Structure 1
Amino acid sequence: MTTTRIFGRTGWKVGAVGLGCWAIGGEFTLDGRSDGWGAVDDSQSVRAIHLALELGANLFDSADAYGTGHSEEVLGAALQGRRDQAVIATKFGFTYDAERRALGAVDVSSRYIHWAVAQSLKRLKTDVIDFYQIHPGTLGDHEAEQAGEALERLVEKGQIRAWGWSTDDAAAARRMLKFPNFAGVQQELNILHDGPAMLSLCAEAGLASMNRSPLAMGLLSGKFTSASRMAATDVRGAGHPWVRHFENGVPTPQVLSRIEALRDLLTQGGRTLAQGALGWNLARSANTFPIPGFKTEEQVRDNLGALEKGPLPAATMAEIQKLLHAQTEGA
């Protein structure tokens, strides 16, 4: 079973399933609401990262926004003495107040980018960031152009190796192709929310597609029921209008029904539900790198079992497509 893929235009050989480091940032706020995943145990986070390396994952995606720097600090501590084993991806673009653990406005100016990368390098305890990404998903053309020029200069200075954009706007991403070190995107992609336009662009241009929320904010772990309720200290229960499939912290009946209908197909071949969901991402395109979040070693072990199980078979993907089409038609 092939457990690595080539990461976009870089030529790097990277584990096909990585780790998203949002949850290990701990508590912080956006627009006055919780944007984290509740309290976190840093020592447990470090153990989980070490386990991931042992199990064949080497791609770790963080952001200076996650815990207003805390996620990067934990990742940097975990990779001390192991930096050469990891591909570090992180993001910038949301200003923050680290003392209040609060995110502020969007800033992707050249001056801010040069300041932000210096802070991230310190927290990550490294001389270079492998994949540096624009975090805000929507920018004006002029803003995006200036950011691209500044990021190219960071490559020239040796502070980053390549860069990308966390966006679901394929047309906006296409405009970045002229920059030689634009190597990939980070898009929302899971069995409940496909992204065909971006995947088509990645296939055409040889970009990596890092997949945020591949388990639909945990729903595709199969651990949620109609009795589940997320606290207001958890991003899923905080009331953000952009959070899908939760209302007042409770999974919607519609999404629970859809997941139940998919369960048998996703758990074929001895897969757990999470492994099946990640196998869907891996089968969806040769360019995908799902990056499920984690807090515990148990979650890492389950998620990275998808490396051994591999992409879902073509016949299973076809059955899933038929089922999803029928659900859409019946909605």
Structure 2
Amino acid sequence: MSVNKKEQLKTRLHPRNRNREPYDLNALIKTTPTLEGYVKPNKSGLPSIDFSSPIAVKLLNKALLSYYYGIKYWEFPDENLCPPIPGRADYIHYMADVLMESNFGRLPIGNAITCLDLGVGASCIYPIIGVVEYDWNFIGSDIDAKSIASAQKISSANISLKNKIDLRLQKSPKAFFQDILAPTELIDITVCNPPFHASLDDAQKGSRRKVKNLSGKKLSIPVLNFSGVKSELVYAGGELKFIQNMIWESRKYGKKCYWFSTLVSKQSNLRSIDNLLIKVSAKEVKTIPMGTGNKATRIVAWTFLSKAEQKEWRTVRWK
């Protein structure tokens, strides 16, 4: 049941991404036997996963975490967002590159780096990948207490993650860094996967389009193939408003964090984001393109530290 090895590498993924080669379904099924029931021939007659099925998608990503990252417990409620591992890993790798570029080509690893994941979610995915790949420390925040509890259970159940992830409930739904960071706390990078939709209706329409594209099925009641509760998918004003609000608040913490960052799914939002970063006097801004499968996205990262302040940061924290 192996995939045709002549298939090209997923060359759009980061060079250090463990998911670049075609999936070895035999190996994945050995780690997660239930996955076998969701494998079927694709249009080319090769074995593949039914990506229109939320259960199949979750089992595939569970198998990827087990096979490539050694994560043996990854359980969370089915209604929560199930992240696609390759794309989430790319984000972490590209932020590692940002740190490396800021450190004269040397990659800071281990306890020297603390990453804040805004909206860690029930799956705890960014901390998992960041700890396994680079041994960073993580703070994971979320406005949903159930998601924090789920992420804590995952963190506690896997030996490689113990004492590396500090999970914190954000009690102010409109805040990002406030009440999460202690007055003297310093953060090297932040990561965030913003809610994409402006309303639940938009989320449902998007799901219908996605399922139809994947399976050819037209659904009157959408089933989200990557699941996701409302707080994970919907924000008043959508992705752009969420990121704009984050940028405004990040100014207040500009001396407490080296690099802020966020995913930006919509290309059309970039101009407004860039203009706002100029308005708030960000000292340096990076836009990093990413792509998985047929989906193109990007990271926007910014810092408020001057060159002198960046040098001092590296000297004190990354020595």
TM range (shorter): 0.3 to 0.5
